[in-house]
Structure 1
Amino acid sequence: MRTHGWSGTTPADDTEAVERIIAAARTAIERSGADFTMAEIARDLGVTRQTVYRYFANADALLTATALAETGRFLDVLAAHLDHITDPAEAVVEGIAYTLESLAADRYLGLLLSPGRAGVFSPGVTSDTARAFGRSILERFAIDWERAGIADTALDELVEHMLRTVQSFIIDPGRPPRRGVALRAYLTTWIAPALRELQP
């Protein structure tokens, strides 16, 4: 690990260095939004740009890592919102709808999912980052996925389908955009039957 700079307080290891870089990015996002530069982050940390680039290839990668680090709070809220739902189809429908409705209010979720941002949809909806994020959502549902007949490959495919559905609604919400009851009715009609077909 490079020891130059760090405003006189060198991180103990690479893990701490990454945490401090992400913390600086979080401060920059709170200060001026997502359009920060690596030079700005380096200046705030008292290191060279090369030091920041050692841990993150570019500002997009740092933005995504920061947003992912902050979405744990959203996932906790989502899990609490869904903890009374034991039917997989109902949980997936509500999970998609609630995520879409939360985009406007959650700064970091918006960074991850909004089109044009450096989030999970920039490299593609089926990127490793996107699928890891989707899997972390499903694992917080109060559902025994294996008992519901949705495990292993099927669960991975469900993550992909959910991400593709969310991406579609983000890119084109519809005319007029579906919200509330109308959104849930649409998702129940076209997504719930496939999940129920898989259940024993």
Structure 2
Amino acid sequence: MRTHGWAGDPPASDEEAVERIVDAAAACIDEVGARVDMAMVASSVGITRQTLYRYFAGRDALIAAATTRAGVPFVERLLRHLDEVRSEEPLVDAVLFCLDELPADRQLSVLFAPGSFNPSVVGEQSLAFTLAVLAELPGHGGVPAERRDLVVELVVRVLQSLLADPATATRDRGELRRLVEVALAGSRGC
């Protein structure tokens, strides 16, 4: 474990160090959104950037850690929504919920800033998280087990594309639903 810096209060373990760094990253995201950088997070924890890089390979890895933690309450809201609307197409309705809610979520919106591309969105950690979410959807979203990995990647890429385009927010809701339905039509093995 590294103990240099830490504003005079070194962590007791590497796990505590990572937790403090992720907490700081989340606070920085709340403060400045997608403009968060490694120097800002390091400064708020009281460590050097070099120390920060010992725990996180780069900004994308740090953002992924912070947003994965923020994803849990988001998924809980998503599942409540699907239950409330008694969705007959849970995967389509989940994507539409994400299109509505992700831009307003201060923590998660950093992944999908309009006009940007964040490679961690389609990274291993993100896809594993999304696969776990799919497993929670009613009937697994109607996706056969042998297609889940591919469908998860497709869903994440569709979300990333649509959220990165500011025009998505102005699209007709029915048209957007049809687009998502067509994009995911093959997910059921059709």
Contact map agreement 1:38 1:49 (CA 8 A) in 2? yes
1:51 match: 51
Partner of 2:149: 156
Cα distance in 2, alignment partners of residues 39 and 135 from structure 1: 32
Q: 2:15 is matched by which residue type in structure 1?
A: T
Q: Does 1:37 align with 2:41?
A: no
Per-residue CA deviations over 1:96-135 (Å, capped at 9, x if unaligned) read 1111111321122211223555xxx522764313312321
1:170 pairs with 2:163: yes
Alpha-carbon displacement from aligned partner over 1:7-63 (angstroms, at most 9, x marks no partner)? 232212111111100111122222233323333322222222221110112233222
| Distance (Å, rounded) in 2 between the aligned partners of 1:57 and 1:150 | 35
Correspondence 1:23 to 2:23:
yes
* TM-superposed deviation, 1:168: 3.1
Is the contact between residue 103 and residue 112 of structure 2 (CA under 8 Å) also seen in structure 1?
Answer: no
More helix by share: 2
User: Is this contact kept in 1: 2:90–2:137, CA < 8 A?
Assistant: yes
Give the stretch that moved more between structures: 125-134 or 15-24: 125-134
Q: Which runs of 5+ in 2 are unaligned?
A: none
Preserved CA contact (<8 Å) 1:24 1:45: yes
Bigger radius of gyration, 1 or 2?
Answer: 1
Unaligned runs of 5+ in 1: none
How many residues get paired?
189
Q: Is the 8 A contact 1:18 1:55 kept in 2?
A: yes
Contact 2:61 2:120 in 1 (8 A): no
Give the aligned partner of residue 133 of structure 2: 137
User: Normalising by structure 1, what TM-score?
Assistant: 0.78
Quote the Cα distance in structure 2 between the aligned partners of 1:175 and 1:77.
22
Shift of 1:186: 3.6
- TM-score normalised by L of structure 2: 0.81
Q: CA deviation at 1:141?
A: 1.2
Q: Percent identity?
A: 39
One-letter code aligned to 1:93: V
Give the root-mean-square deviation of aligned CA atoms.
2.8
